Structure 1
Amino acid sequence: MDHFTAIVDYGVGNLMSVTNAMRYLGLATCITSDPAELERAEAIILPGVGAFPDAAERLRGPGLDQVLTAQAQKKPVLGICLGMQLLFDCGNEVRDCKGLGLVHGAVRRIQTGEKMPHIGWNSLHLQNASPLFRGLDEECYVYFVHSYCGVAEQEADVIARTDYGVSIVAAVQHGNVYGCQFHPEKSGEVGLQILKNFGELNR
Structure 2
Amino acid sequence: MKIVIINYGAGNIQSIKFAIQRLGYEAVLSHNPEEIRAADKVIFPGVGEASSAMRKLRASGLDILVPQLKQPVLGICLGMQLMCSHTEEGDTEGLGIFDVDVVRFSNQVKVPQIGWNQIESLNSPLFEGVDEKEYIYLVHSYYAPVTKNTVAQSTYGVTYATALQKDNFYGTQFHPEKSSATGSKILKNFLDI
Does TM-score exceed 0.5, indicating one fold?
yes
Q: Deviations over 1:86-142 (max 9, x none)?
A: 000111213x22111111111110125221110000000124x21000000000000
Which of 137, 144, 149 is the equivalent residue of 2:143?
149
Alpha-carbon distance in structure 2 between the residues aligned to 1:53 and 1:123: 29
Q: Which moved more, 1:54-63 or 1:109-118?
A: 109-118
User: What is aligned with 2:158?
Assistant: 166
Query: Which 4+ residue blocks in structure 1 deviate beyond 4 angstroms?
Result: none
Asked if 2 retains the 8 angstrom alpha-carbon contact of 1:112 and 1:166, the reply is no
Q: Tell me which residue corresponds to 1:58.
A: 56
Match of 2:76 in 1: 80
Q: Say if 1:179 and 1:112 are closer, same or farther in 2 by CA, change over 3 A.
A: farther
Cα distance between partner residues in 1 of 2:34 and 2:170: 22
Partner of 1:193: 185
Task: Tell me how large the CA RMSD over aligned residues is.
Answer: 1.0
TM-score calculated relative to the size of structure 1:
0.92
For structure 2, the residue ranges without an aligned partner over 5 or more in a row are: none
1:85 & 1:57 partners in 2: Cα distance?
14
CA deviations over 1:49-70 (Å, ceiling 9, x no partner): 1111011111011101111111
Alignment of 1:60-139 (within 5 A): 60-71=58-69, 74-94=70-90, 96-111=91-106, 113-127=108-122, 129-139=123-133
Q: Taking every aligned residue pair, what percent have the same amino acid on both sides?
A: 43
Aligned residues: 193
CA distance in structure 1 between the partners assigned to 2:176 and 2:82 by the alignment: 17
Whole-Å separation in 2 of the counterparts to 1:47 and 1:12:
7
Give, in whole Å, the separation in 1 of the partners of 2:134 and 2:186: 11
Q: Aligned AA for 2:73?
A: V
Helix, strand or coil for the counterpart of 2:129? coil
In the other structure, the counterpart of 1:140 is 134
Which letter does structure 2 place at the counterpart of 1:109?
Answer: R
Which residue identity does 2:26 align to in structure 1? A
Q: Give TM-score scaled by structure 2 length.
A: 0.97
- Aligned with residue 9 of structure 1, among 7, 18, 31: 7
Q: What is the SS of the residue equivalent to 1:126?
A: coil
